[in-house]
Amino acid sequence: MIPPAARDALAAHFGAGRYLDRPEDLTLYEYDGGVDKHRPDMVVFPRATEDVVAAVKIAGQYKIPIVGRGAGTGLSGGAIPRAGGLTISFSRMNRILEIDLPNERMVVEPGVVNLDMSLAVQGDQYFYAPDPSSQKACTIGGNVSENAGGPHTLAYGVTTNHVVGLELVLMDGRVITTGGKMTDLAGYDVAGLFTGSEGTMAFVTKIIVRLMRAPEAVKTILAIYDRSADCGRTVAEITRRAITPVAVEMLDGVMLRMVEEATQAGFPMDAEAVLLIELEGLVEQVEEQAEQIREVCMSCSAREFRIAKSAEERDLLWKGRKNAFGAVGRVSPNYYVQDGVVPRTKIEGALAHIHAVAAKYGLLISNIFHAGDGNLHPIILFNQYKPGDLEKAQKAGDEILEYCIHAGGSITGEHGVGMEKMELMGQQFPGSTLDLIRQFKTLFDPDCRLNPGKVLPTGRGCMEIHHRPLSAANTL
């Protein structure tokens, strides 16, 4: 609960139209793209860093838990206020503050939509590389918090590789800056520390990102298989031959049929799996790599190898990939997305394990993932109105992630730990590492009021939250 005096102070600062406190309005802020939910007691909408400072100071005075929120597209519960309290929504801090092409930099506020950054410089032949599947909706502040990736980060890297500076509001109200437009500034890489900290240590109010020059040539390839195991072999062989595409995406038969029915992107309905591969670079380099990729795919039993003949055909294939989650709604009312990583050589075994888990729990699991870096995204279909179905989906997700750990991988590649995977952190890391993470957390948030109940498992965190919040579901 927020004390009446604190509510009055926040309302006075933000004014009418810039805060919400009615239950019917707060309902919209109780969930993200995951399967859990919990309602905040109040939401405020800053327009500038000074507003964030004011909210932080008022919350500090009254010891109120506080959570930052971007577009709410996260998939691990990162923006869910598990302890209630105050949510700061950054949707109105959405300005591109500066475009500096000579230095290949852009300065933005956290509420800027990911895709809008590339669109702003597209005419000058530049782009912002990290491209989550939700890039039409997700915002850069959330991308920084979760260290988001995307299909094209196989070659370009994830968010932390493209953030060079941050402005931050600390929990005592101080505003600090770290990094800057120039690379490799003196001192510790504090921007790197905060990127991927999942909103548990400070609020990001300004971001300086690196822009990339558009490539001279692009080729998009669709390789079609009758066995998903052959896809896994292909990815491992591409790596063995030291070929680095900018993207290698895999869709299994269940997923590609859902996608094709929804988008008519040109995926074969009778295949067991496909690889979507993209090459970028100089014309001669791309031509040579395309022929090398063809040899690899055919040697690994691909039944067909296609190269998109036009920009329109290329865009249609990527439309199918980027709209895959929405396509699930044609088959199932709900879905639960997981995000684990295995070494590329273990993809074949991981797919076999996922199939076994699906059979064990009697659930349909489709697979779409960044095969190039082993980042799995099994999508577990369920019906929230069928008793026990959500619980089965969650158990299936945990078993898949446990396999990833034992295979030498990770419980997250880009979605974050949040509240969804925090209990698995004890399997991923030894206790000494978890204690160090907690020390970082409490260094910046000594009262443990900032996004509490996230990342660290019960018994290793602070301001422990032992109850599981009400469950929602991805309902399309």
Q: How many whole angstroms separate alpha carbon 474 and alpha carbon 337? A: 9
| pLDDT value, residue 1 | 84
Rg for the chain (alpha carbons), in Å? 22
Rounded to whole angstroms, the Cα distance separating 466 from 241 reads: 49
Of 206, 214, 226, 329, which Cα lies nearest the Cα of 269? 226
Q: Which residue has the higher pLDDT, 372 or 211?
A: 211
Q: Which tokens go with 246?
A: 């900018």
Residue in this structure with the two tokens 């900018």, named with its chain if needed: 246
Percent of the chain topping pLDDT 90:
86
Whether the CB-CB separation of 65 and 452 falls below 8 Å is answered with yes
Residues 196-221 have a mean pLDDT of 97
CATH of domain 96-213: 3.30.465.10
Digit-coded pLDDT (tens) for 214-255: 999 999 999 999 999 899 899 999 989 999 999 999 999 999
- Per residue in 167-192, pLDDT (tens digit) is 999 999 999 999 999 877 788 999 99
Of 195, 188, 124, the residue nearest 159 (C-alpha):
195
Q: CATH 3.30.70.2190: does it fit domain 217-325?
A: yes
pLDDT in tens, 301-347: 999 999 999 999 999 999 888 888 888 888 899 999 999 999 988 99
CATH class, range 332-406: alpha beta
CA torsion angle 285 287 291 293 (round to 10): 60
* Cα 442 to Cα 445: distance, rounded to the nearest angstrom: 5
pLDDT tens-digit profile of 117-166? Answer: 999 999 999 999 999 989 999 999 999 999 999 999 899 999 999 999 99
Distance CA 370, CA 52 (A): 36
- Please report, for residues 85, 323, 334, the alpha-carbon distance to residue 326 in angstroms, rounded to integers and kept in the order given: 31, 6, 11
- Tokens representing 156 are 């370009």
pTM of the model: 0.93
**C-alpha distances out from residue 214 to 104, 115, 305, Å:** 12, 15, 26
The residue written with tokens 């965190």 in the block is 461
**Distance, CA of 369 to chain centre:** 12
Quote the pLDDT of residue 469.
47
For 68, the token pair is 């930052």
Q: Which two tokens stand for residue 145?
A: 């918090």
Q: What angle do helix axes 283-299 and 228-240 make, rounded to 10 degrees?
A: 130
What are the residue boundaries of the structural domains of the chain, listed by start? 4-91, 96-213, 217-325, 332-406
How big is the CA angle at 462 (ends 458 and 463), to the nearest 5 degrees? Answer: 95
Tell me whether the CATH fold assigned to 217-325 matches the one assigned to 332-406.
Answer: yes
Q: Which tokens belong to 46?
A: 């800053």
How high is the mean pLDDT of the chain?
93
Looking at the domain that runs over 4-91, which CATH code has it been given?
3.30.43.10
Rounded Cα distance between 52 and 375, Å, is: 35
DSSP code of 243? Answer: -
3-state secondary structure of 375: strand
442-462: pLDDT as tens digits = 999 999 999 999 999 987 776
Dump pLDDT digits (tens) for 40-86.
999 999 999 999 999 999 999 999 999 999 999 999 999 999 999 99
Helices 4-14, 49-61: axis angle to 10 degrees equals 170
